[in-house]
């Protein structure tokens, strides 16, 4: 007992240590869906994946997701990947730009492409439209290991000088525009080469186990007929000499009592993975019996040895090792395969053997239960026959053995019916909601028009752009098309607009590219600039007379007088008395709060601070307290620690008999001052009130 306890303790200790160790050297582990939402790149968030729920999907885009590369002389990359259209064209999943790329090929191979090395390809292990865990580690000496689902599938040697050249890490695209198709999740990158045990633990800790009904091609309980309970039932073409009898243990089962007993089913579709599971009760213990097969494959059972046997004619054949002990009267048999990789054999829910295999099946759509092309038949009884178009894990096979497949299929069927009812209900609700929204929008428009008239200002609802607070764009018909402007387009638009106002000259092509696409090479900058200018020109066609002008390698936007742009609203010679600014803040919209825009935003704000200072002084002198309050509030919105702006604001509020509001404003200012500058604000509330002598 002490030996067993010590062994368990040692195992738990090792697993815990490995789990913690693989985090060492991890320099990228961010949520890709968040990055996809924050920038206009070749990834988009996808929140409805059947297995992993919230993932990201590759999309066509000129802009690639580029990550900072922190590796020195070693590297490991690991991620979950679900390819689409894998047989049509290759795709680059990840790489170091101009150094190496990890690609998938149309023949299902994984390729490692390095500029100092001939391409290295694995066997054709990938499965279309299925989540697979991929990874590779690369040591300083050039030792490369590629992994599939936590297992090494290729070990090769590349140049020991591979690490001397370094590029940014790009996801889903390379310099040759070999774009990936499909989905990616849980990307992790290390500046060291993690070992095989760490990769296996990573796979186990990040795997998502789907419902047993997921990719279930066929499930026939065989309780009185050949009814298929899967989502897409298969068709029974022929049944010969199969009776249904009552068994004392499993109830009603299918009885294959004659030498030609079989059932032929059609409509199957398999990709690069396959799982078969069935309960069997052989009557002749000396036979090699066929469980299921077609012209592409066969699964047989060597009864007197307790051995499963799977083969693909003319390609490969593999048998599980002999099973110790004679099989029970009823035995649960299963095989799970990933072609060109391995076959796992299970008896009564236990993994009994794994075999490496090379090759795969064809596209045969029909399977025969109880016969194989080798002439073997099955004599005995069968129950709960199931086939999946994926390779089930060991834990999933245990669940099938434990009887959880019936529960999963029933729940899936109930969900499908519930979804139908919900869709009908949602359609009715949508119709009601649509009518309600039309009425509400009309009422809101009337209220806004009335409020704008009362406030003394009216932002145009046609041919208008707003960059303060939240970006808005209303076309010549009054339609809000703000969602058509990506963050990059908003920055491009604002940059061409603001540059002449700040620097008194138009912006050149090179300046435009260097600001917006600083980290790209010359060719990529030119491509990005051309693509986005074309998109902006296309959007401008929805506005009266708005156009982009390019002369002498310089850019400007021609804005007719009837097109409203809030950036130009605040200017010299505004009426101080009864001043009404359309916004509560002069903070620019989120897309312009970007590192590349810092200096331009600072200069833009400085110009407004100078104007606001003059207006505050004039309003204070003329005792226009309402206007002074608004000027000072706008000043604080872009210069939150301006003591002068605070004094103007508090003076306006006190003179307008709003002392409590003034005290609240003073309290917020001092709290923020202390929090951000780490020192107390020294001026008292009373000392901030200015006197107009």
- Give the whole-angstrom CA distance, residue 258 versus residue 240: 9
pLDDT in tens, 257-295: 998 999 999 999 989 999 999 999 998 776 789 999 999
Asked if residue 172 has pLDDT above 90, the reply is yes
Taking Cα atoms as reference points, which of 151, 147, 125 lies closest to residue 135?
147
Is the CB of residue 625 less than 8 Å from the CB of residue 641? no
Mean pLDDT for 530-550 is: 91
- Give the whole-angstrom CA distance, residue 261 versus residue 371: 8
Is the CB of residue 153 less than 8 Å from the CB of residue 341? yes
pLDDT at 152 (0 to 100) = 97
pLDDT in tens, 344-362: 999 999 999 999 998 877 7
Number of Cβ atoms within 10 Å of the Cβ of 32: 21
Mean pLDDT for 513-538 is: 88
pLDDT at 454 (0 to 100) = 41
Is the CB of residue 77 less than 8 Å from the CB of residue 135? yes
Domain ranges of the chain: 23-206, 216-402, 465-688
pLDDT in tens, 641-654: 999 999 999 999 99
Strands 507-508 and 554-558: antiparallel
**pTM: predicted TM-score of the whole model, two decimal places:** 0.60
- Give the whole-angstrom CA distance, residue 488 versus residue 229: 50
pLDDT at 460 (0 to 100) = 79
Q: In which band, very low, low, confident or very high, does the pLDDT at 578 lie, cut at 50, 70 and 90? A: low
- Which range has the worst mean pLDDT, 167-181, 596-610, 645-659? 596-610
For 634, the 3-state DSSP assignment is helix
pLDDT at 453 (0 to 100) = 41
- Give the whole-angstrom CA distance, residue 534 versus residue 681: 51
The two three-digit tokens of residue 79, written as one number: 């991620």
For 647, the 3-state DSSP assignment is helix
DSSP string spanning 559-590? Answer: --TTSEEGGGTS-TT---TT---S-S--PBPG
Q: Roughly how many angstroms between the first and final C-alpha of the chain, as a whole number?
A: 95
Question: Could you identify the residue written with the tokens 């689409």?
Answer: 84
For all residues of the chain together, what is the average pLDDT? 87
Contacts of 390 (CB under 8 A, 6+ apart): 127, 130, 214, 215, 273, 274, 275
Q: With helix as H, strand as E and coil as C, how does 433-476 read?
A: HHHHHHHHHHHHHHHHHHHHHHHCCCCCCCCEEECECCCEEECC
Is the CB of residue 355 less than 8 Å from the CB of residue 318? yes
Mean pLDDT for 426-436 is: 73
Mean pLDDT for 384-401 is: 96
- Give the whole-angstrom CA distance, residue 620 versus residue 608: 18
pLDDT at 415 (0 to 100) = 56
CA within 13 Å, CB half, 674: 9
- Give the whole-angstrom CA distance, residue 508 versus residue 301: 75
Is the CB of residue 218 less than 8 Å from the CB of residue 234? yes
pLDDT at 572 (0 to 100) = 58
Asked if residue 4 has pLDDT above 80, the reply is no
Taking Cα atoms as reference points, which of 609, 563, 564 lies closest to residue 586?
609
pLDDT in tens, 205-257: 999 999 999 999 999 999 999 999 999 999 999 999 999 999 999 999 999 99
Q: In which band, very low, low, confident or very high, does the pLDDT at 450 lie, cut at 50, 70 and 90? A: very low
Length of the chain: 693
- Give the whole-angstrom CA distance, residue 178 versus residue 560: 43
- Give the whole-angstrom CA distance, residue 660 versus residue 664: 6
Give the torsion through C-alpha atoms of 478, 482, 488, 492, to 10 deg: 30
Looking at per-residue pLDDT, the higher value among 499 and 440 belongs to 499
Asked if residue 528 has pLDDT above 80, the reply is yes
- Say which DSSP state 307 is in: E
Query: How far does Cα 177 stand from its chain's mean position?
Result: 20
Burial 525-547 (b: 16+ CB within 10 A, else e): bebbbeebbebbeebbebbeebe
Number of Cβ atoms within 10 Å of the Cβ of 524: 17
Number of Cβ atoms within 10 Å of the Cβ of 183: 21
pLDDT at 451 (0 to 100) = 45
pLDDT at 501 (0 to 100) = 86
Question: Could you identify the residue written with the tokens 């949508």?
Answer: 430
Catalogue the E-assigned strands of 158-241: 169-171, 182-190, 216-220, 235-240
pLDDT in tens, 483-513: 899 999 999 999 999 998 888 899 999 999 9
Contacts of 603 (CB under 8 A, 6+ apart): 502
For 259, the 3-state DSSP assignment is coil
Instruction: Tell me whether the CATH fold assigned to 23-206 matches the one assigned to 216-402.
Output: yes
Give the percent of the chain with pLDDT over 90.
Answer: 59
Looking at per-residue pLDDT, the higher value among 404 and 443 belongs to 404
Taking Cα atoms as reference points, which of 241, 258, 257, 247 lies closest to residue 221?
247
Which of 47-51, 192-196, 459-463, 590-594 has the highest mean predicted lDDT (pLDDT)? Answer: 192-196
- Say which DSSP state 63 is in: S
- Give the whole-angstrom CA distance, residue 30 versus residue 70: 14
Query: How far does Cα 488 stand from its chain's mean position?
Result: 20
pLDDT at 422 (0 to 100) = 61
- Give the whole-angstrom CA distance, residue 308 versus residue 292: 12
pLDDT at 474 (0 to 100) = 94
Which run of H or of E encompasses 653? helix 643-655
- Give the whole-angstrom CA distance, residue 540 versus residue 542: 5
Asked if residue 62 has pLDDT above 50, the reply is yes
Looking at per-residue pLDDT, the higher value among 458 and 217 belongs to 217
pLDDT at 675 (0 to 100) = 85
For 154, the 3-state DSSP assignment is strand
pLDDT at 15 (0 to 100) = 46
Asked if residue 429 has pLDDT above 70, the reply is yes
pLDDT at 423 (0 to 100) = 63
Which residues are registered as beta bridge partners of 80?
Answer: 133, 185
Which run of H or of E encompasses 268? none
Looking at per-residue pLDDT, the higher value among 22 and 126 belongs to 126
Give the percent of the chain with pLDDT over 70.
Answer: 89
Question: Could you identify the residue written with the tokens 């295999």?
Answer: 357
Looking at per-residue pLDDT, the higher value among 434 and 63 belongs to 63
Q: What CATH code would you report for 216-402?
A: 2.60.120.200
Q: In which band, very low, low, confident or very high, does the pLDDT at 323 lie, cut at 50, 70 and 90? A: confident
Q: With helix as H, strand as E and coil as C, how does 192-206 read?
A: CCCCHHHHHHHHHHH
> Which class is domain 465-688?
mainly alpha
Which CATH fold topology does 23-206 show? Jelly Rolls (2.60.120)
Is the CB of residue 171 less than 8 Å from the CB of residue 92? no
């Amino acid at each position: 007992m002490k030996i067993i306890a010590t062994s368990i303790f040692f195992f738990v200790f090792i697993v815990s240590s490995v789990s913690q160790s693989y985090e060492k050297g991890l320099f990228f582990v961010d949520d890709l869906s968040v990055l996809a939402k924050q920038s206009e790149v070749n990834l988009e968030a996808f929140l409805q994946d059947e297995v992993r729920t919230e993932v990201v999907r590759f999309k066509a885009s000129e802009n690639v997701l580029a990550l900072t590369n922190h590796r020195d002389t070693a590297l490991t990359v690991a991620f979950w990947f679900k390819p689409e259209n894998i047989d049509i064209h290759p795709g680059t999943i990840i790489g170091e730009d101009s150094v190496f790329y990890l690609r998938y090929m149309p023949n299902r191979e994984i390729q490692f492409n390095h500029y100092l090395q001939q391409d290295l390809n694995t066997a054709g292990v990938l499965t279309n439209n299925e989540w697979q865990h991929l990874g590779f580690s690369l040591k300083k000496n050039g030792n490369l290991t590629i992994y599939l689902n936590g297992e090494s599938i290729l070990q090769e040697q590349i140049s020991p000088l591979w690490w001397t050249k370094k590029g940014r890490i790009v996801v889903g695209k390379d310099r040759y525009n070999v774009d990936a198709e499909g989905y990616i999740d849980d990307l992790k990158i290390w500046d060291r080469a993690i070992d095989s045990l760490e990769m296996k633990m990573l796979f186990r800790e990040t795997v998502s186990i789907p419902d047993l009904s997921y990719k279930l091609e066929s499930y026939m309980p065989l309780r009185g007929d050949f009814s298929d309970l899967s989502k897409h039932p298969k068709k029974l073409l022929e049944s010969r000499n199969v009776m249904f009898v009552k068994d004392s243990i499993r109830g009603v089962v299918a009885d294959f009592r004659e030498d030609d007993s079989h059932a032929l089913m059609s409509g199957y579709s398999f990709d690069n993975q396959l799982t078969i599971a069935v309960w069997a009760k052989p009557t002749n213990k000396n036979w090699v019996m066929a469980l299921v097969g077609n012209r592409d494959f066969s699964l047989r059972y060597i009864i007197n040895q307790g051995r499963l046997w799977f083969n693909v004619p003319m390609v490969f054949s593999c048998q599980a090792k002999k099973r110790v002990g004679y099989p029970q009267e009823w035995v649960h048999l299963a095989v799970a395969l990933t072609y060109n990789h391995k076959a796992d054999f299970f008896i009564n829910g236990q993994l009994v053997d794994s075999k490496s295999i090379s090759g795969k099946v064809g596209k045969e759509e029909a399977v025969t239960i109880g016969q194989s092309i080798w002439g073997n038949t099955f004599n005995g009884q069968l129950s709960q026959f199931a086939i999946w178009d994926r390779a089930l894990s060991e834990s999933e096979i245990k669940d099938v053995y434990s009887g959880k497949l019936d529960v999963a299929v029933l729940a899936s069927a109930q969900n499908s019916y519930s979804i139908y009812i919900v869709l009908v209900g949602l359609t009715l609700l949508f119709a009601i909601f649509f009518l309600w929204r039309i009425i509400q929008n009309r009422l809101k428009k009337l209220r806004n028009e009335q409020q704008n008239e009362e406030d003394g200002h009216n932002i145009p609802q046609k041919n208008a752009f707003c960059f303060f607070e939240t970006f808005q764009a209303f076309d010549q018909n009054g339609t809000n098309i703000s969602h058509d402007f990506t963050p990059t387009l908003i920055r491009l638009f604002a940059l061409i607009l603001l540059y002449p106002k700040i620097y008194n000259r138009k912006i050149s092509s090179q300046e435009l590219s260097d600001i917006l696409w600083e980290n790209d090479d010359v060719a990529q900058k030119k491509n990005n600039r051309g693509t986005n200018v074309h998109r902006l020109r296309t959007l401008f066609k929805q506005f009266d007379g708005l156009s982009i002008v390019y002369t002498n390698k310089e850019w400007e936007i021609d804005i007719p007088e009837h097109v409203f742009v809030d950036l130009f609203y605040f200017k010299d010679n505004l009426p101080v008395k009864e001043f009404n600014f359309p916004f509560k803040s002069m903070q620019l919209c989120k897309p312009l709060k970007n590192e590349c825009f810092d200096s331009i935003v600072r200069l833009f704000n400085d110009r407004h601070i100078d104007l606001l200072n003059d207006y505050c002084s004039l309003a204070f002198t003329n005792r226009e307290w309402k206007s002074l309050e608004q000027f000072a509030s706008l000043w604080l919105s872009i210069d939150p620690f301006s003591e002068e702006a605070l004094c103007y604001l508090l003076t306006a509020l006190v003179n307008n008999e709003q002392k409590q509001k003034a005290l609240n404003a003073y309290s917020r200012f001092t709290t923020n001052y202390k929090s951000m500058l780490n020192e107390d604000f020294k001026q008292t509330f009373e000392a901030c009130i200015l006197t107009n002598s």
